[in-house]
Structure formats: structure tokens, C-alpha cells
Amino acid sequence: YDNRDGWIWMDGTLVPWRDATVHVLTHALHYASAVFEGERCYNGKIFKGHEHSLRLIKSGELLDMEVPYSAEEIDAAKDAMLKANGWTDAYVRAIAWRGSGEDMGVSARRNPVRLAVAGWEWGNYYGDAKMKGAKLDIAKWKRPSPETIPSEAKAAGLYMICTMSKHQAEAKGCSDAMMMDYRGYVAEATGANIFFVKDGEVHTPLADCFLNGLTRQTVIGMLEDKQIKVHQRHILPGELESFEQCWLTGTAAEVTPVGQIGDYNFEVGELTRDIAQSYEKLVRA
């Protein structure tokens, strides 16, 4: 991804894509002191762009790391990056991290916090099979307790187990993995939240130890508008058998139907299709 034409916004200015580099003694590279956002721009407008900027700042606060820009400045940086690249439809990645400084130990108070905003074209997160139903592995890694890590933050360090789980899933021919939490409840996929349907009602894990995605919140609002009951609760893996439909939500994943998790099968049913279409309509509105 480093050798392309284009522009990346970095620490206040637009720089040519190939020049958007950092030093190897960057604190974030050694100690995961980075927070980021994934956003999508549709028809020239980032869906919930401002909410993403606010979440980036909040994630930084949770890591004791003050992002040195306001949400409005981050919004403007994203617009400038999109404009410089001539994109109306793109995935947008904002990332704030501890740079290199006077110290190279765990403590990073004296290291500057930096910000970059990049983007790229990213079609269906799960490829062409999107509406056919993704196949999910069950990850061996568990989402940790909120007493172990700041689980509300969209922080780089939380993705270590996601990458490992996704690699294991791909090695088994799956597109992603469903992760359980530290208590054994169903949590989420490696970069998306999860929903289930049973008897016309929707069940989704309570977001008490993983990212409460903006897409998750949007979809819950859409379901409530459609007068469909949503149960946010702890879900045991043994319940998978009783669910008829399943889908994932996320900025990159959008609404992606799930056809299989481990040995359990789900249909790409009417409600799943309806929610996927309603979401598509909403983000492009």
C-alpha cells in the first residue's frame, strides 16, 4: 500500500502518498499506542464522519493520549484528503499515534501525538460473495475484559487477536471469525458486530466488552423504526443452533449476511436482505 500515487494528510498538511512515512523508533510501533477510525465516504459525504472524529478523540483519551486536533479539524482533514485524491466514494482511515520522542521506553508522555488521514478504494469487505452469506470460523482467542484493556476504544492493540483469529479463519477457508468474550459469551467478528434473528426478533450481544460500532447503533435504530424488537443481551454459543438468520455490521462490512458459523447454518432471509438494503439506502441518502 505504500507505493502508489495520491495524497495523505499528515500532521496538518497533505503529503504525497509515498512520503507518508514514520521512523522505526515510533512509540506506537513498539507499544501499540495508536487509535484509529474506519469510515466510508458515499457520494461525496462521509457517513457519520463527525461521529467518527469524536470517537477517535475519545479512543485517544481512553489511552491517555490527547489527539492534538478538534473533531472539526479532523473532519476538515478528511475532506481535504478526499478532495486532493478526487474521491467521492472511498474508505477513510484516520489514525493517531505516539511518535518518536526523547524516550524509548513504555512511558510516552514526552512523545508527540501525531495524526494522519488516508483513504483508499475498498469494495465489499467480504468480496463478491457478500449477499450469499459469509462463512465464519469460531476464534480461539477471547475478547478481553474491560478491566484488562479499554475495550470501548478503537485501539490498534486490540486488533492483535483479531489478526490472529482472521488468519486462522482464512486458513480454514472462512472469511472471518466469530469471537467469544472472556466469559464465554458471543462477542463479535474481528472487525464487525454481529446480529441474529429468531422468530422475527433480533438478538445482538450486549456491547459491554467490545466496540459498540456506529453501524451497530445505526442498524438497531433502523430495526426499532421498523417496530422490530431488538434484544441486546448476553448470548451463549449454545444458542447459535436456534437462530435462523445472522448478519455482521461495520463500516467496512456494511451489512453482510452470514451463512455459516462453525457447524451452524443460517439462511440469508428476508429481514437480513431488508436491513442490508435499508442501510445501503441510508448511507447514500
Q: Which is nearer to ligand PMP, 168 or 265 (CB)?
A: 168
Q: How far is the CB of 95 from ligand PMP (least distance, A)?
A: 13
Q: How far is the CB of 134 from ligand PMP (least distance, A)?
A: 15
CA distances from 63 to 143, 256, 270, 280 (A): 18, 31, 41, 33
Q: How far is the CB of 266 from ligand PMP (least distance, A)?
A: 19
Of all residues in this chain, which one has the CB nearest to ligand PMP in the complex?
213
Q: Which is nearer to ligand PMP, 28 or 108 (CB)?
A: 28
Q: Which is nearer to ligand PMP, 119 or 191 (CB)?
A: 191
Q: How far is the CB of 207 from ligand PMP (least distance, A)?
A: 9
Closest among 251, 188, 191, 174 to 219, alpha carbons compared: 251
Alpha carbons 68 and 81: distance in angstroms, whole number: 18
- Residue 203 CB burial class (10 angstroms; 0-12, 13-18, ≥19): buried
Q: Which is nearer to ligand PMP, 133 or 191 (CB)?
A: 191
- For the chain, what is the radius of gyration of the CA atoms? 19
Q: How far is the CB of 135 from ligand PMP (least distance, A)?
A: 19
CB contact set of 209 (below 8 Å; sequence gap of 6+): 143, 144, 145, 146, 151, 181, 182, 187
Angle at 248 between CA 243 and CA 251, to 5 degrees: 165
The residues of the shown chain that bind ligand PMP, judged by CB under 6 A, are 38, 154, 188, 191-193, 210-211, 213-216, 249-251
Q: Which is nearer to ligand PMP, 53 or 111 (CB)?
A: 53
